[in-house]
A = this chain, B = another copy of it.
Amino acid sequence: MADEALFEFLHMEVVSYLFKTADEEKCIPILENMGYRVGHSLAERFTKDSSRFKDELDIMKFICKDFWTSVYKKQVDNLRTNHQGVYVLQDNRCRVLTQISASKQYLEAAPNYLAFPCGLIRGALANLGISCIVTAEVQNMPACKFQIMIQRSQ
């Protein structure tokens, strides 16, 4: 319990500090970049004793189960793919959103809190050899869909 609170409170402070001090359009990339570096380091740590992954889907399952559980104390609720390089991870109770009021007026604040998790996924996947773009979409708080578009080298 305490750990989660510690991370969540620090994350909220960082978001709030950035939106108070940096240019608004720079805040999201800054948070995404922090998430990337943290996700990259975490994936390195989590996988150092594990066996090789079979394929891309195997890596996605690792992200949805082990990685998500370590970071957010729950698994991703649903993983879908179009088998053409797009994966959608659905979290029905996204921890970063459960701290915000679900009323509509706060819906526009949601992306500020999703930039870090998007970076986290992108960084973890980069560490595991997958280059991608990650975006998040909120439908009904606190549910969230992360879309991962794999970038294949030409």
Contact = CB atoms under 8 A, between A and B. Distances in A.
Interface of A: 2-7, 9-11, 13-14, 17, 21-22, 30, 34, 37-38, 41-42, 45-46, 70-71
Contacts of A2: 42, 45-46, 70-71
Main secondary structure of the interface of A (DSSP, over half): helix
Given A14-B34, A30-B17, A34-B17, A6 B7 contact: yes
Contact of A10 (B4, B14, B22): B14
Q: Which of A22, A30, A38, A70: most chain B CB closer than 10 A?
A: A38
Contacts of A9: 37-38, 41-42
A37 B9 CA distance: 8
A96 to B, nearest CB: 12
Given A11-B10, A30-B17, A5 B37 contact: no
